[in-house]
Amino acid sequence: MCEKPNNTGGDYIVVKALDNGVTIIGLTRGKDTKFHHSEKLDKGEIMVAQFTEHTSAIKIRGKVEVLTKNGKMRTDE
Ligand code: TRP
């Protein structure tokens, strides 16, 4: 990861919704873990997102395909 002045040089991931009503929730970085943002996707919609100084983890509800530098995965049917 290359260090940028605003620390937004984190990895990108791609999430593709395979159903309507998929939810992606951003979890805060640091000692406390809180939901700070949620995003709804419908079938076929794609979100490209980056881990930043504010977000260290995400939680995904629903049927998706996820692409990261670690590989491609799908939620179980
Ligand atoms: N606030 C936590 C942190 O920055 C968020 C987090 C990252 C987390 N990975 C996790 C919470 C795994 C539970 C499980 O580390």
CATH number for 38? 2.60.40.50
pTM across the whole model: 0.86
Choose the weakest-confidence range: 2-16, 37-51, 54-68: 2-16
Q: How many domains does the chain have?
A: 1
Do the domain assignments include residue 57? yes
Do the domain assignments include residue 36? yes
Does the structure show a pLDDT above 90 at 68? yes
CA of 35 to the centre of ligand 1 (A): 11
Do the domain assignments include residue 38? yes
| C-alpha dihedral (30, 31, 37, 41), degrees to nearest 10 | 80
Does the structure show a pLDDT above 60 at 1? no
Domain residues for the domain of 26 are 12-74
Q: Choose one of 33, 36, 54, 68 to mutate for the ligand 1 pocket test, by most ligand atoms within 8 angstroms of C-beta.
A: 33
Does the structure show a pLDDT above 90 at 77? no
Do the domain assignments include residue 49? yes
User: Is residue 32 exposed (0-12), middle (13-18) or buried (19+ Cβ within 10 Å)?
Assistant: exposed
Do the domain assignments include residue 45? yes
Do the domain assignments include residue 6? no
Predicted local confidence at residue 7, as pLDDT = 58
Is 27 near ligand 1, meaning CB less than 6 Å away?
yes
CA of 73 to the centre of ligand 1 (A): 20
